[in-house]
Chain A
Amino acid sequence: MTEKSESGFFDVRISDATLAVRDALREVLANLQPLALSDDEVGTIELVLAEALNNIVEHAFGADDKPGEIRIRCSRRKDGLHFAIIDDGLAMPDNKTPQASAPDVNVKMTALPEGGFGWFLIHTLATDIRYARVGQTNHLNLRVTCGG
């Protein structure tokens, strides 16, 4: 569900299910269409948001069956698109985002990592990444440079 955001550009709300992430991404990209971004920029935004939303679904809400809500608020500024992702799930461990280092791929085949790429991709593709626990909600802010 999309709403016109008062302060920003648009506001998308979804439930805490894996398939809802697909719907949210589709909706965000539809809202971005008027900006005529390049395929690469659209791909970057889709990937960054997918990783952030999947983490929320899996970790903030994964532990219990309590229904949750995730909001994605987008505002457009000169330096790019600013996204605020807000959920009412569990806090991040130690109230901070996980390590952003790249998983080591110079290892034996059997030891290759099958996970741990998500935050690395977010940190690689987005900037100004900030996380805060506000009351019972998580606020993740990030910026994607685009639009020239």
Chain B
Amino acid sequence: MDLTSLHEENIQVITVQEQRIDAAVALAFKDRMRELTEGGARTVVLDLDHVSFIDSSGLGAIVAAMKNLSPDRRLVLAGLTVAVEKVFRLTRMDSVFGLYSTVDDALKALRG
């Protein structure tokens, strides 16, 4: 699972460099997220700009990643494409995550 990570002060930005978070990669995604976020920033921004398809397994993996960071740290999402946003909306998971249209928007808001 190709994820890249950048740190800036108290924020870590993880970018998914693949087009799909589906059943085939859900476990790998969860594992890689755990490795990348270990002992890191309080806030993690997950950049989904390159992701054009997500299924319920992928959604579950993102929820798992957020739970893994809680309660002291949090995961917010940025750059949701139309199809990805739809899955979050239909399952009402859009009410659980902080959502930002772009990573820049997220950083601006989170830097305060």
Interface residues of A, Cβ cutoff 8 Å to B:
18-19, 21-22, 39-40, 43, 46-47, 50-51, 54, 57-58, 102-103, 105, 109-110, 112-115, 117-118, 120-121, 124-125
Contacts and interface: CB of A to CB of B under 8 A. Distances in A.
Contacts of A120: 90-91
Interface stretch (B7-15, B17-25, B100-108): B17-25
Contact of A43 (B23, B57, B83): B83
Q: Main secondary structure on chain B at its contact with chain A?
A: helix
Contacts of B82: 39-40, 43
A121 B96 contact: no
A47 B55 contact: yes
Contacts of B24: 18-19, 21-22
A22 B60 contact: no
A43 B52 CA distance: 9
B44 interface: no
Contacts of B93: 105
Contacts of A19: 24
B39 interface: no
A117 B59 contact: yes
Interface in B25-82: 53, 55-57, 59-61, 63-64, 66-67, 70-71, 82
A19 B26 CA distance: 12
Nearest to A122: B56
A54 B87 contact: no
A121 B93 CA distance: 13
Given A57-B23, A112-B63, A51 B90 contact: no
Given A22-B22, A40-B82, A109 B66 contact: yes
Contacts of A121: 56, 87, 90-91
A105 B95 contact: yes
B23 A21 contact: yes
Given A22-B20, A50-B53, A117-B56, 5 more contacts: A43-B53, A47-B55, A112-B63, A120-B91, A121-B87
20 contacts: A18-B24, A21-B24, A22-B22, A39-B82, A43-B82, A50-B23, A54-B22, A58-B23, A102-B91, A105-B92, A105-B95, A105-B96, A112-B63, A112-B66, A114-B64, A115-B60, A117-B59, A121-B90, A121-B91, A124-B90
